[in-house]
Amino acid sequence: MGLHRDLEFNTLDDGSDPDDWRPRSRLSLVTEPDVDMAVIAEQIGVGDAVPLHRHTIDEVVFYLSGEVEVRVGAESHAVRAGDVMLIPAGVAHSQRNTGGSVAEIRAVFPSARLDVEYLERNPAPGTEGDVPQPPFVIDTRTGEVAPI
């Protein structure tokens, strides 16, 4: 069990994920060695969007601040601070900051192994013509990335 406070946020503009380049956004991964869960704390910059993607596990997203348009399957929702979105495994989803300030969210996953399949891209500079990378899984406790 561990308390996580004063999270360290990293930028999403270093090209390490060629499918999710967001120059105005920042992310912090919260995990524990002996807990099989992961939390992504995210600050979505004005105009930035999380590209359409899906996971093989459920996801819960808590909206702490800002205005966000969320696409889940065929539905779109305008969400704001205090809202909670439950996203079933296998359902494609994306998020876009539609407000005039940074939107802060927390995404909670019931596994420390987080898989991602991109269906759309926010291409990093120089990768605009590329197709999305194959689905992969990240072990959030070790940082190991592997294809699915």
Q: Write down the pTM of the prediction.
A: 0.94
Q: How far apart are CA 58 and CA 140, in angstroms?
A: 16
Tokens 């898989």 sit on residue? 115
Q: Tokens for 43?
A: 């600050």
At 26-77, the pLDDT tens digits run 999 999 999 999 999 999 999 999 999 999 999 999 999 999 999 999 999 9
Structural fold of domain 10-147: Jelly Rolls (2.60.120)
Task: Quote the longest CA-to-CA distance of the chain.
Answer: 44
Residue 143 CB coordination number (10 Å): 9
Strands across the sheet containing 38-44: 10-12, 22-30, 38-44, 103-109, 59-65, 84-87
Domain boundaries, the chain: 10-147
